[in-house]
Amino acid sequence: MIKFLKEWGIFLLIIVAIILSRIFIWSLVIVDGHSMDPTLADKERLAIVKTSSIDRFDIVVAKEETSTGDTKDIVKRVIGMPGDVIKFNNDKLTINNKVYSETYLNNFHKQLANGTLAETYGAYPLTNSLTEQNRNLFVSLAENTKAFTTDSTGNPSFTVTVPKGEYFLMGDNRVVSQDSRAVGTFKRSAIIGEAKLRIWPLNKISLLK
């Protein structure tokens, strides 16, 4: 037994450390759908840190309760922190009376302004999670939206007060994303962790901002 521990002890400790860190510190998630385009694409793989503190504009993975009572993991961006007052007015974001520039939306803002966003949506490949009906809906939304960021009723000017202890999450692809505008805010316990690293595809491995 002593000989076995001398030969394999360090190796076993490394395996145990990896398993424990996988359970308590980090995890992997697959992006499902187009709600984080163009920042993150459908089927990309991310590494998340469960112990990370959550700050405004972090990309996080959270558990969302579905209409059937089940839960699913979603990837969204933190826009509102607990107690924040968020205002959108024709794509200008103000939080607690301070204006913020959402540079990560610049690409789709430009496409919406020049009329090419609907074409981008129309070119999405059909998958098990994206039917032709849903893709056509995306195109229609892009053609008819009053701004890139609207509330759940299509109003380009709206205000949200985030409850204490909760977070307002939104997808970067605001025209098609189902997020806190429709399903409400998320408690801290529903946020699994912060997405830190894109690990797949290999040619797009990068830290996330």
Residue 35 designated active-site:
yes
User: What DSSP line would sit under 75-144, residue for residue?
Assistant: EEEEEE-TT-EEEEETTEEEETTEEE--GGGHHHHHHHHHT-HHHHHHTPPP-SS--HHHHHHHHHHHHH
For 114, the token pair is 């020049």
- Give the distance between the most distant pair of CA atoms in the chain: 73
User: CA neighbours within 13 Å on the CB side: how many for 37?
Assistant: 20
Whether 76 is catalytic: yes
Beta carbons of 97 and 89 less than 8 angstroms apart: no
Active-site residue, from 6, 21, 27, 35: 35
| Dihedral sign computed on CA atoms, order 74, 77, 78, 79 | negative
Which residue of the set 27, 76, 177, 180 is catalytic?
76
Left if phi > 0, otherwise alpha if psi is -120 to 50, otherwise beta: which for 69?
Answer: left
Active site residue ranges: 35, 76
